[in-house]
Amino acid sequence: MVKPFVGVPSGDLSGCCGYAPDLDQPGCPAPATVHLRVQDSAWGMVALPTCDAHLGIAESAAMVLGRHPYGPGCSSAAETLFFPTHCEAGS
């Protein structure tokens, strides 16, 4: 695993930061403040919820395609549409 590592893809919609220091470590329990959409070489296009403390790590982990403040629409269980300012549940 190449560092920096921000955690494994998951369906966690808790609104917490997605950072984990390694595969066998628990994730950061801080509330997410920023939502990033990134292009990862291994996982493809993914969304990363992150807290302010881990934002720099998340931004350096993959190519950032978009970002906005983390809000209620970002934790939707439905197909989520990522916009420059927010997320919305898709149809």
Range from 2-6, 22-26, 53-57, 69-73 carrying the lowest mean pLDDT: 2-6
pLDDT tens column, 14-68? 788 888 887 788 888 999 999 998 888 887 888 888 999 999 998 988 899 999 9
d(CA 81, CA 73): 9
Q: What's the pTM? A: 0.79
| Total domains in the fold of the chain | 1
